[in-house]
Structure 1
Amino acid sequence: MNLIFIFKNLRFLILPILTLSLLFVVGEQPEIIQAASREDNNYYRKPSKRPISMGMGMGIGIWLSGGFNINPKPDYYITSGNELSIVTNSVRSTASFTENPFEPLTHTWYQRKEDDPSWSQVPNSNSSSLKVKTNQLGTTYYQLHDHYRGIFTSENYYSNVAAVHVTSRDVPAKSLTVNVDTNYIYNSTNTFNNDTAFANATPDPQNSTEEVTWSVSDPSLATIDSNGKITAVPGKEGSFFVKGTIINKDGTEASDTKLMNVGGGLFDQKVRAGQRVTFSIQGFDNATRDNDYNNIKVQWYKKSKDDKQTTALSTPTNPFEYTTDITSSKDDGEKYYAIIKLKNKELRTSYGLLTVLPALDSKVVLTDKQKNTSFKNETDTDNYLNNVVNGDIIEYTMNLNNNSNHNLLNTHLKTYLSLGTEINSITIDGKLTTDYESISNTNNSNKLIDIDVNELKMGAHHQVVINTLTRGIKKEMEFASTPSFTGTDSENNSYQGIGSKLHLKYITNQIIPHIKDIQFESIYSFENKGLKYRTSDTNSPNNVISIDDERRKKNPVKFYLNQPKPFLKDGKIPLAATLDFCRNGIIYPLTNKFLIADSNEDQTFQSINWNKDEGLLLQLNGTNSTAGKYQTTLSWNIEDTI
């Protein structure tokens, strides 16, 4: 008989005073606010044209003209008494910035009520974003004036007009769409000012009244503030998601994500020997070829794998992309970079590493299969094994065939195994071998098995069998690996054969309960009799115990509960109450272990929830208790009945 013991805390408060809340619900008709039309007289000054970016909004930071690259949304909806932010950002042309880099910038916001034709300045509003307090129902219009003022120059830009509609009723968002002004930001502060981006979100319906909160999936790569401004972490490279979330007043949620990249401007590239590959400076797309590059110079460089030689490369037709010559294995490890210059501004990209993979030869063939020799599952195939558990023997069979017109020397077979897997034996053509290497990667929870097969001559065949023992499975998970083998011919050209992807689904072969801490209603000073119920978060439809039943063979089980210790305050003062269990209106004490759920043969054990007046209840015994917090620990036992 297997026993599983789980201990969770129960807590509640006894309050010396009575707190009473009354809620009056009054029926009312829905309030509808329509956005006003954008007539010419509906702005303080005519909005400036959108600035032109050489990167077409792709983040390179080269602006051919100035203006607002981040404009306010046309309409904002919010309930009275809440606060919202109107976010903007303006830019100057790169040429203007180069000639006058220290021009001061002032922000001035203007506003107009819907029933008042005159505009007025918003007090204390010298910022690119505006916090709007919404105390009155109706619509107010806002527009921002950005003024770049130099000694000999003056640039004025006006944003689009934003209408803020204040309503008395909440409108929940059903869905959300997130967008960003660029999908790539640079990981260093440079003279092109391209280490930031902006995220925005559009809810459905568009008159949703809740604000968006922002987050990123990996704060080590980039951060995001409450206004949606994304800033790269210096020196970091990688991909991350920007997430916008709306939590409605009714508890429902709407969210969306957008994939972004951060780096130094170039991605590493992989290519098969005999092929070309293209490095592209991030922040530019094909449309930039139509722009005027007279003032921009791009020079590409190649650095040898030993870092001893740097070669200046000829400038291609599209200077923001460089395509290599036909590659071979000797090019593996070379690094490429570019330097972009605009007058006195300069940006040097990061290195883009070139990895040259062995050429694929259709006559160099690898076939593979796997088998669970410990358990037969009807859904298993040669390439997919289901419900693999600790202790299972998994056997991999790899067949290597050289049907080409060259001998392969220095042949190696490589495959990945789950990190905890143990190797029982490896044979080549039926003979045991120890000529292999196992390299663990804890970050990816796998290990690389590299087997030296030595030589594979023309027309030859080798069979490699890897016999393994499954270990280290602590949770349900999927694992996949694609075996491959490589060899070189007499001229040191590399060739590769790739097998089929092998999948395994691992399970723990256990019942895993997830038990919530349980809290009861507060007991007030005048109460000493009757029942106290659990708080709503542990009442149906919410589960008190969520069950993951990952057993391969589902025997009947029983789930027991008992209370080994009384409720205590400060670990010593007992509560004048008992914990009971109610089923079908009958109260049972928990002084001994009590059966709360069970299952039958071949039945998945279900999660457990109780209605408010069922399950665990607190029975006051007629004596007053002192104010404070009382808690106890329960014992939950799952027993296999076979």
Structure 2
Amino acid sequence: MINITFKVTVGLLATFGCYILFQNKLIANNVFAGQTEEINQNNNEVSEQTNGESEIDVVNFNRPISPNPVHVPGWYFVPGFITQPMKEYNVHLKNDFQITAKVGLNNTASSGFGGNYFSWFVSSDGVNWDKVSQNKHSRDTIDTSVLTDSSDTEGVRYYQAYSEVQPQVFNKPIYSEIATVHFIKGDVNATEIKVNTSKDYLVSNPNFDQYISASAITQPKGATGRVIWSSSDTNLATVDPYTGKITANPNRKTGTVKINAEIINPRYMRNSNVFGYKELQVKKMLEIDGETNFQNTVLFRLNPDFDLSKSKIEWFQKLDNQVHKFTNISDQIISKEIKLQDNNSEIYAVITPLDIDDKPLPNNATESNHVKIQVKDMPPGANRNVHIRQSLSNISIYGNSENIGVHQLLKHKITFNDDSETYGYNDDNVDGNLRIPISINETNIKIESIPSGYVPDYRIENDGLHQDIIFENFPIKRHFGFDLIVSTRVDKIIDSSFDYNPVYKYRTLFNTDETVIGKPVHAEFSTNTIEINPKDINFGEHSKLEKDDVNREQDLDNEKFVDIRDKRIKYSPISLFVSSSGFQRKGAPVRNVPITLANYDENGIEISPKGNYFEVASSMNNSPLKSVFWNRKQGLKLKFNKLNFPDGDYHTTLYWTLEDSINSQTK
């Protein structure tokens, strides 16, 4: 019976005790940021004055300047000043100024032992020193002291901070750098500024905060303008506009950044600001020396500027989610021969500080940036090549993959072939994952291979909308081929069509994922129906006296007037007929109108109807019924039996009828 259907690393960085931060805050309007030079690290050397063209006289320290703290990431073993006073201040008379000093505490000794005590000393000649009154730094915290002072007379004073970190049985008293403060009456206009930094580089690391300091040298000596700092690229480093403290941006980016200094001269000196800058290199903590060519030996090096002697160093290699630890390696540099399996892997180090008993402190461990290996100069011809071909057969109607119906049997044939050339680097079989999608219409799945014995374990995943046959481990022998046969039965029609495209994923010799996709095979499923979709026909506007037959308004050659989709499982002869209900004037009572339809062949010759029906399409045995296309001479036209009928809009309803030897259906 015929039914009609109508119609998307950067890792470790530790200061390890080498960085001085200038973090002094001058708050009075007439107090100016001093212009300083890099701090002299030798305890007994004489500091050089920086706001002038020549060196100042020797200043005898009250006490020798203490060494920098011993420090690894997040841990201080020996206390020391981490924020030093600036070396030079220029202050107007009777105005307060502030000097800040901050101590990096020895966490292994000071906690729970009374904390830390600050004192300040002052000298007018650099020889004789007096203790500063406690009320001038009464707001000290456990690690920071801020001294506030002023002067009524011109001259120079020298200041030095002193700290006692408890308990003193473990910690010696520590002494800061000496600050030289110039008390002056008027303003000194700068004409030149030079920028120095305590180091020439920064290391970008999201796991650790690294700071260095910027200082400015002005000409002439004693310039009183305020220095404002800025960075040319905050994606690499930022700088405090008032203290000159420089911080690497922990976003793993590297490059060159300019640290800019602008000295703002007094307001009455119009357009007289002076500018200077210094370039810094932003680097990674872990770098690679050498080219990662196949069989080449390269070095992986932790930044040698950091003292890691009080740290445990461990090296790792990561590929995908697998991590391998290098054994018996604890140096800041390791060497490695590059192999094929190293491709796309990552090398990194984990640095763990040691306590005073040389025991690791795992909570303070820091992971370096990861260095990815891309193997270059691969051996020629070393590759894996897997090919997939497939076909689909309708066993019930052999060779036809269109209009597949319920209860029909399908056979999917998938051919696998390997032509890898490994040149001895790896002669193992290819082992990957195979996914074979099949339509949700299919059930009774059976799998076999030719030759036999090549069907590993599999599972079927079906969520009601999609269906896949999954092989987790599907081996393919090198230089070998075989066929996988998947037999199914069509149980229902949910997918009207389906594209079969098996996907095979495997690992190459170079540790990369390769995906092979078979060329899709298309299939159409059917519920044994014919769909017809005729379009409206417009004959346009005409004069009754013009002619006695009228063409359609559409006058294109080969225009589709009836869209036919023949989805029968078996094609038998069938014909399509059209008839009219009779023409009627719009808005008028039903009555006979002298307008009739006529049908013409492709040469414009009228075809006699079969009763009231015109045959417009037909098919032969084993052939589908095709859509109806008419040229300008062909198809339905109008004929007038007489011309004396009222003007108006006339219309009719067309009835399309399918008829074969068994039955007929009309639309």
| TM-score normalised per structure 1 | 0.41
Structure with bigger gyration radius: 2
Select the structure with the greater relative contact order (CA < 8 A; seq sep ≥ 6): 1
| TM-score normalised per structure 2 | 0.39
